[in-house]
Amino acid sequence: MKKKFSGFPPGMGFSALPNIFYSAILPYITDLNELKLTLYLFKELLPKRGHLRYVSLGELRGNISLRKSLTGEIPFETALADALAIAVERGVLLELAATRDETAEKLYFLNDEPGRRAIEKLKSGELEPGGLKAAQPPVETTEPADIFRLYEDNIGMLNPIIADQLKQAERDFPTTWIKEAIEEAVLNRKTSWRYIVRILERWSQEGKSGTNRRDSAQETGTGKYFAGKYGHMVRR
């Protein structure tokens, strides 16, 4: 029996879809993996800021939820490659083969005005894909814990680095603390792992019972929370 959805959590985030998706894209999608991938990329790419709103093939390969979503009769790598090829052929995505520091990687952009402009500037050399890293191997995991699902639903893409940090946090803090810290970050519109770590460090140092959640946005910004075991994860 498939695991039953436990319901929507309080303070959850929302992902928007362009209206044109419902009339010009959705009616013509017949491949389930293409649909899953397309929805996932809208969620990841639309909120991004800056000139280069893209996701790399390595990020997609290493994403736990996407890996679980595209499981079926064929291997994940094949399902992902096929879904990407269909989305590119349909014109929803733009694909660019980029190289930096002798590392080759495929990048995927939405086929919107910013995406098309970015592709042109990358091809002309006017822009470079900053922060491009080699593809990382996928995180081996079984059923994701609730905090993984909660993180991805409310904060963003769950990559191997964040997954490892969440696992470490599970060893160092009660699971209920992590869930509440994520919910508090969402309520304060501070949706980043660094902010969540600051909350957990503060609760660990000062005790959780006396926490005033409304003041968290100010309290977690102070320098005293950078000295704990997660200090290397948090920048001033």
Domain-by-domain residue ranges, the chain? 19-124, 146-233
Question: Among 67, 32, 29, 25, which Cα is nearest to 159's?
Answer: 67
Tokens of 203: 């609760």
Whether 19-124 and 146-233 share one fold: the answer is: yes
User: Can you list the positions of beta strands (E) in 32-153?
Assistant: 54-56, 93-100, 103-110
User: What pLDDT score was predicted for residue 50?
Assistant: 67
Class of domain 19-124: mainly alpha
User: What pLDDT score was predicted for residue 26?
Assistant: 95
Q: First-to-last CA distance in the chain?
A: 47
User: What pLDDT score was predicted for residue 221?
Assistant: 44
Tokens of 93: 């995505």
Q: Which residues contact 210 (CB under 8 A, 6 or more apart)?
A: none
Tokens of 34: 């293409």
Q: Which residues contact 30 (CB under 8 A, 6 or more apart)?
A: none
Rounded distance between C-alpha atoms, residue 203 and residue 95, angstroms: 44
Tokens of 2: 């498939």
Does domain 146-233 sit in CATH 3.30.430?
A: no
Q: Which residues contact 158 (CB under 8 A, 6 or more apart)?
A: 63, 64, 65, 148, 151, 152, 166
User: What pLDDT score was predicted for residue 140?
Assistant: 42
pLDDT by residue, tens only, the chain of 236 residues: 566 777 877 777 777 888 999 999 999 999 999 999 999 999 888 877 666 788 889 889 888 888 888 877 889 999 999 999 999 999 999 999 887 667 788 999 999 998 899 888 888 878 776 544 433 344 444 444 578 878 888 888 778 888 888 888 888 888 888 888 888 888 888 888 999 999 998 888 877 654 444 344 444 443 333 344 444 444 33
Rounded distance between C-alpha atoms, residue 76 and residue 18, angstroms: 28
| Cβ–Cβ < 8 Å for 200, 173 | yes
User: Exposed (0-12), middle (13-18) or buried (19+): which is 148, by Cβ within 10 Å?
Assistant: buried
